Amino acid sequence: MSATPQCVVYEDDHLLVVNKPAGLNTHAPSPYAGEGIYEWLRHRHPKWASLATIQRLDKETSGILLFSKSALSNKSLTQQFESRTVEKEYLLITDRSPSGLLGRVHTGILRSGDKYVVGSVETADVAAETHFTSVGKTQLGWLIRARPLTGRTHQIRVHASSRGCPLVGDEVYGGTAFPRVCLHAERLRIQHPVTRKILEFHAPVDFMVEIAAPLRSAVVNPFDTTAWRMWHGIPDRHPGWFVERLGDWLLSQSERELNMAQITELKSLAEKWQLAGAYHKRSIKSVRTKSNTETSPVRLFSFTDGIKNDSNTIKENGVTFEVNFGEGYSVGLFLDQRENRRRLLENYVAIDFPVVQRGLRNSEVLNAFSYTCGFSVCSALAGAKVTSLDLSKKYLDWGKRNFSLNGLDPNSHDFIFGDVFEWFRRFEKKSRQFQVIILDPPTFSQSKTSGIWKAEQDYSKLILAALPLLAPGGTMLASSNTATLKPESFVTSIESTVASKGRKILRKHFAPQPIDFPMNRQQPGYLKTLWLRIA
């Protein structure tokens, strides 16, 4: 299993306590809107499959979040919250004088559109009580400790706003604009459901830290992973600008060249992580008409004298991959597929859904459009015999190097140069079948044999060509990064295509893009992955 996520504060057989970052929902707001931390944890490892939510935090609220892992703990903790024996403490910041806020606030709370408002205890939907005390002054405003005796939706935010002290960043309730809502669940005190011992959990907070950093550190462990998306455009308050860490280097991407202020930001980020420097590449739509020199990232700066080599290695869930900034537009690894590669590595797609029921060892895996063979390496490390198929000899050779970097013998696996559809027909004629088929095609491609391929209109053709090669009860990974292809349409199309061939879907799991690629209404998700077990 990959390293334990750094958001985990405490765990035993009955409890899981995490420090939820701001910007991450407790629960997914809809099936295709990205995972909340609850779904992310439950589908990450079998030991977390039975997690139950005991409390919730708003998306922009950070801090201690408690889950139960057993029926016994779920019952006990629910009773503790209902009887109000649980002690909760939050920290908030308001830039308004708190003189009218301090002390006990006891009101009713009513729903009003998308917000909540206070009312009399007698006439409101529910009653709510919060105690506020002053902690001190900060550069953002007054630091206040809030102790809610009840657990109503938006309770602290509504109570503070009703007393003329909206939270900094809480624009919904009249607060001053800020990158995040300054509310943090700092402390939680409960009685252990089995031992009856009093447990207290604590998580510090720094409201001045950019929201992107805690979101990544919660879900990416730098001890076994040195590559992730650090800034992802609008959701991270960097519209049109995307920055990745790739081992010892940063890779920046935008439609334009960076200005001096942006380069200074990159230097600060590189210094913080003690990295060697940064590259930048411009977003290009017509990559096929350009040379490698024209499309390759350009080195912006380096803190280490004498480094000329553009090649670099990174770690991802303990697996080593080669990346290269001098080989064209793509540097060798698409970080948005990190979680899917981990699923292969650990033979665990989701709850009750192993990649292969009996394990990947000695299973046959076909990785079409294999690129530099990231999926292939993880499958091979799990014990599978892998066939990697791609239209580029260069990338297949790169894939062989990735095998060698991880102590795998490339000669024990197949690397096939050629057109995917042509080879699918060859495999079908030979009655060749695989326990796992991986389909992660480019948005657009062109070959002499099959002509032009467009994912948005041709994905069903790919599924039809792959189905005869999938062994009964086998697993198919179907993925697309075509932004214009809606996830609902993607899933429906694949399901109907499978049904049209008389095959039955036994198990399915939709996986959105990972948490370090956040999405919102202004910048929706683009990556869609559907895992299927097919009879």
| Residue written as token pair 């308004």 | 96
DSSP reduced 3-state for 218: helix
Q: CA dist 379 to 219, 387, 395, 465, Å?
A: 22, 10, 18, 22
Which residues, 6+ apart, have CB-to-CB distance to 69 below 8 Å?
13, 14, 15, 16, 47, 48, 50, 51, 52
Give the count of beta carbons closer than 10 Å to the beta carbon of residue 471: 16
Q: In this structure, are residues 135 and 143 in contact, taking their beta carbons and an 8 Å threshold? A: yes
Q: Among 24, 32, 34, which Cα is nearest to 56's?
A: 24
Distances (CA, A) of 274 to 267, 268, 279, 302, 364: 10, 10, 15, 11, 41
Give the H or E element holding residue 37: helix 37-42
Select which of 12, 13, 58, 458 is catalytic. 58
The helix, strand and coil proportions of the chain, stated in percent and rounded to the nearest 5, come to: 25, 30, 40
Strand-pair partners of 20: 63
Residue type, 451: G
CA distance 495 to 280: 40
224 close to 2: Cβ distance less than 8 angstroms: yes
DSSP letters of 337-376?
Answer: GHHHHHHHHHT--BTTB-SSTT-STT-EEEEET-TT-HHH
Q: How far apart are CA 157 and CA 166, in angstroms?
A: 7
Which residues, listed in sequence order, are joined to residue 280 by a DSSP beta bridge? 252, 298
Q: Is 58 a catalytic residue?
A: yes
Specify the 3-state DSSP secondary structure of 299.
strand
Whose structure tokens read 């069903």?
A: 460
Query: Which residues, in sequence order, are bridge partners of residue 93?
Result: 143
**CB of 60 closer than 8 Å to CB of 183:** yes
* Catalytic residue numbers, as ranges: 58
